[in-house]
Structure formats: structure tokens, C-alpha cells
Structure 1
Amino acid sequence: MRLDPSGETGPTPRQARGRGWRRSSHGFYVPADVDADAPMQRVLEASVRLPAHAAVTGWAALAWMRCKWFDGWDPSGRPRPVTVAATAHSLASLPGLAVCGERLLLSDVQVVDGVRVTIPVRSVTFEMRYAHDRRAAVRAHDMVALHDLVSIAEISDWADAHRGWTGIAKVRDAIPFLDENAWSPPEVDLRLVWAELGIRDVVCNRPVFDRAGRHVATPDVLDLETGVVGEYDGSLHLEGKQRAKDIRREGDLRGVGLEYVTMVSADLRDPSGFKARTLAARQRARAAAGPRRWTLDTPAWWTPTATVAERRALSKDERGRLLSHRWAA
């Protein structure tokens, strides 16, 4: 809020000097009890500083567009600055705000809930171009594709149209590893650990059916070559009801001839044990190979939702009915 001598639309100058308010930026104040570290608050406070030729980009734009996994904290637990794309240098970088002077077209900007942000493909490719490694770049895309805001084809087209931009090689390097149907960052990590083992013919969250067309389960990741299911079990999966559900799910998948390997949080720090378990599971799967009793072919009654294009084609009612389970991942 700006100062208001009447106190109706903002604090009076006297109130602003008291303990009940803090200055968030030049001319703007917020109640002192508002959490300045909350990602959405940080974006909002940065947005009021923007000149007409600038827009919030990167993680901050994606967080403002309600992308679930963009919380604005780096791996060490420090807040990331809100990055602003600006075509001129009239905006200086400040604590908590970083300015990127790359070319910004009007077509790159949209207004979401009163805040100017770069369009999703521009925002996510910014994250990918400045990512510290391939895993972070792939995570960025996959967690935006989760919300159907960007597709692999759109990323590829953007990379082709911006060949000379900083970090574009990182985007091109990540493209072969992208997926449009991952539901959480650990699923991305699991898939990329498999890629390190040379396992590339995989799908994420694809429904498995038996030969009679009955839905068996929808595993996190599935190795199509050998029929090995990869599942990530976080802390939620240790609870009673969820654990019982997971055990039934594993039994159902094994019942149609699929092998099973589980990744846990410790494997994210050191994946060597998970890699060994994966190779052992693949060896068992090959040794037990026989007529395939499972399929990914969807029966006529099933509505496919594995791609961004398929999900974008759903009605609002269909999205609510078919996609709500994705947010529990």
C-alpha cells in the first residue's frame, strides 16, 4: 500500500513510522506481520517496482502462475532473488531482486492477477538456460508441463527461435530428457538416474492394463524394454493407509509380470544403491521374460491424459475429474 494521510487505503505517515508497518520498496508499505519471505509476497513486492518495459520472469513468474514446485528457495535453503526481465537499464538490481537485460518483446509479457510476468515458455526456458545442471533444467520443464503451461514442442520451437541466447545449449541438451507427464521432482530424478544407466525407453505415470483391458495401476516410471516399474516413496508412503495401498499396488503390478524397484529419499543423495537395485530388477525381469501380460494400449472407455495436448483438450469438468490425483504426488 502507498501512504494515505486519511488512513483509508494505506497507512498514514505516522503509522508507517511505527512498528505495525514496514517499507517494502520506495513508496510502498505492508503490515509488519506479513511474511516477507513467502514466495508470492516476494513476487508481489518486486512487481510494484517494475517500470512499464519490465516483467517478472523465471521461477518467480511460474510461482505467480501457481506452479506447485516453484517455491523460490535454492538447494541450500536460501531465498532466490526475484528475476525481472527488462529491456532498459532504468531498473537496478537490489537485494532480493535481480535484473536480466535480455530482449523483451510485448508478446513475451502477460498480466496475471495484476502482475506483469513473462509467458510460460519464456519463464521456463529462463530457468532452464540458467540451471546449474541438466537435472535442474529438466525438472523446471517437467514441473511446468505438469500444469499444462508448456509442452516439449513449444520448448523446442523457442530454442530454435533463440539460437544465440545465453544458456540455449542447456535447453537443447535437456530436450531429449524431457517428459510431459511427471508429477513430482523425485520422479524426474528417478528417470534421470535411469538415464545414467542407459535406460531411456521409459514413460511416466502411464496407466498399465491387463490383457482384458482392466486398469492395474499407474506407476511413477516404467521401463518399457524390460518391464521394470520404478516408484519413488517419500515420507507420505510410510504412513499406514498409504503403505497398505502401496503394497497392494506392487502386488497388482507384479501380478501381470512387472518387476519393481523403489527409490527413497536417501537415494537422491547417493543413487548408487538404487542403481544396483535397478540393474538387479532388470536382470530378474529378463530371466522371467515370457508372453507379456500387460499393455499400455488404452481401452475405449479410458480418456488418455499423458500429454500436454491431451490435457489441454479436456473440458473443465474433465480436468477436475481426471487430473485431481496428480496434485497428491
Structure 2
Amino acid sequence: MDLHIRRPDITVPVRVDPRGLTGPTPGQARGPRWRRTGGAGTGMFVPSHVCGDAEPQRIVEAVASAPEGSAATGWAALHWQGARWFPGRTARGEPLPVPLAIGDRAHLVRRTGVQLWRDWLFDGDIIDVDGLPVTRPERSICAAALRARSLEDTVRIICMAMANDLADLMEIGAYAARIRGRPHTRRLNAAIDLSDENVWSPQEVTMLMRWRRQRDGVRLLCNRPIFDLQGNHLLTPDLFDPAAGVIGQYDGIVHTELRVRRRDLEAEELCRDLGLEVVSMVSRDLRDLGSFDHRLEAAYRRSARRPRSTGWTLEQPHWWTDTSTVALRRSLDDESRRIWLRRLAS
């Protein structure tokens, strides 16, 4: 596939050229100065000094060796469009194969570093982003979600794609309706119902799902700001059950830093003053969530014994800019995004 990438620091693979004008000659291609991309039989090369480890370069090399009408999809399409939570690596840092949407009619042999997804491709599913054909966000999200291993992983894919405003729940739901009846679409639709447009990290999804499992029917708010009665912003917890007055926070490795830990302690003291209970999930809980379950139950017991406080409100003052939905975030100009979405970008 001939690509015209409009991004810096990307080298587009080229074919062998007997004249050596647009690519290496057959002799040069066999030498040390050129590297074959996409495996044997693709006939695509880049100079050997070009590192193929970075995800954008890996994605371009995979797509360049695919036939016309193919496109990057899944994590690769989302990564190319700026989704920070789709790094293309496992938790151990191992590169994931690049998924390529080739339709349900093409037949290609397996290639190293590439996943061939023989799926549906509707008209309009492939878009051009900086010269690279990728499947549009709703399609990429649904395709990746259908391959998730669990309901929680499915919710995580949807929420993290929405965190970068690539699609909203309505757009994802509308696309899911088009593929109804395909394998795992029942789980996909269940995950859409459980997803929230204002989740800010993958770990928050774990806490959200576990909390709901332990407290069925509870109304949890994700990253909803809390104010005092004078309209001053007090804090924005990861999760909040306003009916019970219980706040949930995920404390990752960054929370062990002195500056961050001090801020956490100040927030906990503030919550006590407001009559709110705080329950924290830490990284070690991800191995055994039973500890979090016990702390959650204890927080609800303590909250039930507390008198209800009237010193806080969820009503947003006139000066506050609501960023709780994809549509609201999309409507922001660049300066407003810089001001109001700092935490999402960090």
C-alpha cells in the first residue's frame, strides 16, 4: 500500500526499484543498509538505521505491507489518533501485534508483529488520519472490545477511549447496534451500559466495577467535583456515592511521593470535616481485591454512623466549567482544554 504520511519522524516503507530511484535496488535490498518490513513476501523496506520499535513506526510498517482497502484498527488506530491509554504494549512492556482490519474477504498469511482481523468493514469505516488509513473510532473501539477477555476489560476499553474524546457513549452504542448478533455483542452492550464518559484511568474502572459488584444498584459518580456552600472547589474524588457519603480514591505508585502523599492526607482530613468517608484502593489490591472489599464495607459502616453533613454540594458554581462528558470536552477551545483538562493530560 502506498502511504503519504503527514507526520514527522516516520519513515514510510518502499518497494524495491530496479533503478534505485524510489527504493532500493534488488542488490541493495539484500545488503545491510536496508531492513525488510512486514515479513517475507511483502517486498517493503526501510533503511536499516530506522528503528521499528516505536509504536507509530510499527503501525505504519504494518499498514504499508497490507493490501489496499485495509486499515489499522483496535489499539493501533486509537493510538494513532492520540489515545494515551492504548500504548500498544503489555504491562511488562512487550509490544502488542498491530491489528489490521482487512475485511472478511481478504486472505493473507500470518505476519510477525501483525494481527489480521478478518471482520466486517462498512462503508465509511476507514478514514484517513495524517495519511494513514485507520478505522474510525467507534469501529476501532467495538472491534477491540469484542476481543476483550472479560466484561471489566470491555468496560475499560470503552472508558479509556472516551477519556480521549474519540467517541461518546451514544456513538459507540449506535455502532454496536449495527453489529448486533455478532459474537460477544451482548457483553459489548452490557459494557456500554456500565461505562462512564468521565473515568480518568484504567485503575478507576477496576474500582468502579468492584464497588458496583459489592454494592449492587449504588449510584456512583466518576470524578465529580465537590464544592462548599460558597462555591469554592474542595476536591474531585475518583468515585463518589453521594447518598452514603463515601468517597473512593485510587492511590497508585505516584501517591507514595511526599508531595502527593501530603496532598492526599489533607484531602482525607477535609473529607472528615465534611462528614465524608474515604476508601482507597492501592496497586497491591489489584492482586487481591478482597482487602478493598473489607475497607469498602468498613467505610459504609462508619458512614452510616455519621450525622449527615450539609457543608458540601455538587451544584457547580457559575465560574466552573463542566467537563464530565465527551461532548462538553469537545466543545472546549485549546486554552480551555489546557486549563480544565490538566489532570486528564497528566
1:64 aligns with one of 59, 62, 80? 80
2:220 aligns with one of 183, 187, 202? 202
| Whole-angstrom distance in 2 between the partners of 1:252 and 1:33 | 55
RMSD, aligned CA: 2.1
The correspondence of residues 32-111 of structure 1 with structure 2, limited to 5 A, is 32-74=48-90, 78-87=94-103, 88-111=105-128
- Specify the alignment match of 2:140 in structure 1: 123
| Whole-angstrom distance in 2 between the partners of 1:7 and 1:258 | 71
How far apart are 1:38 and its partner, in Å?
Answer: 3.0
2:34 aligns with one of 14, 17, 21? 21
- Specify the alignment match of 2:252 in structure 1: 234
Distance 1:7 1:245, change over 3 A: farther
How far apart are 1:21 and its partner, in Å?
Answer: 3.2
Instruction: Report SS of the residue matched to 2:192.
Output: helix
| Whole-angstrom distance in 2 between the partners of 1:235 and 1:127 | 28
Contact 1:138 1:174 in 2 (8 A): yes
How far apart are 1:164 and its partner, in Å?
Answer: 1.8
Once the two structures are superposed, what CA deviation does each residue of 1:58-87 show, in whole Å capped at 9, x if it has no partner?
111111111111122345765332222223
1:217 aligns with one of 215, 235, 243? 235
Instruction: Report SS of the residue matched to 1:247.
Output: helix
How far apart are 1:155 and its partner, in Å?
Answer: 1.9
| Whole-angstrom distance in 2 between the partners of 1:315 and 1:299 | 20
1:255 aligns with one of 260, 269, 273? 273
- Specify the alignment match of 2:323 in structure 1: 305
Contact 1:210 1:256 in 2 (8 A): no
How far apart are 1:5 and its partner, in Å?
Answer: 6.8
- TM-score w.r.t. the length of structure 2 is 0.88
Once the two structures are superposed, what CA deviation does each residue of 1:227-265 show, in whole Å capped at 9, x if it has no partner?
111111111111122222222222223322211111111
Contact 1:85 1:99 in 2 (8 A): yes
- Specify the alignment match of 2:190 in structure 1: 173
Instruction: Report SS of the residue matched to 1:211.
Output: coil
Which moved further from structure 2: 48-57 or 274-283? 48-57
Contact 2:160 2:201 in 1 (8 A): yes
Instruction: Report SS of the residue matched to 2:302.
Output: helix
Contact 1:20 1:32 in 2 (8 A): yes
Instruction: Report SS of the residue matched to 2:143.
Output: helix
| Whole-angstrom distance in 1 between the partners of 2:307 and 2:180 | 46
- Specify the alignment match of 2:7 in structure 1: none
Once the two structures are superposed, what CA deviation does each residue of 1:86-135 show, in whole Å capped at 9, x if it has no partner?
23314333222222222212311111121111100000011111110011
| Whole-angstrom distance in 1 between the partners of 2:109 and 2:184 | 23
Instruction: Report SS of the residue matched to 1:99.
Output: strand
| Whole-angstrom distance in 1 between the partners of 2:200 and 2:175 | 24
- Specify the alignment match of 1:161 in structure 2: 178
How far apart are 1:160 and its partner, in Å?
Answer: 2.0
- TM-score w.r.t. the length of structure 1 is 0.92
Instruction: Report SS of the residue matched to 1:295.
Output: coil
| Whole-angstrom distance in 1 between the partners of 2:235 and 2:45 | 51
Which moved further from structure 2: 22-31 or 122-131? 22-31
Gaps of 5+ in 2: 1-12
Instruction: Report SS of the residue matched to 2:294.
Output: helix
- Specify the alignment match of 1:183 in structure 2: 200
Q: How much identity, in percent, do the aligned residues show?
A: 40
| Whole-angstrom distance in 1 between the partners of 2:45 and 2:276 | 59
Gaps of 5+ in 1: none
Contact 1:183 1:327 in 2 (8 A): no
The one-letter code matched in structure 2 to 1:19 is: P
| Whole-angstrom distance in 1 between the partners of 2:251 and 2:32 | 46
The one-letter code matched in structure 1 to 2:236 is: T
| Whole-angstrom distance in 1 between the partners of 2:24 and 2:300 | 65
Aligned residue-pair number: 328
How far apart are 1:11 and its partner, in Å?
Answer: 4.9
Instruction: Report SS of the residue matched to 1:106.
Output: coil
- Specify the alignment match of 1:152 in structure 2: 169
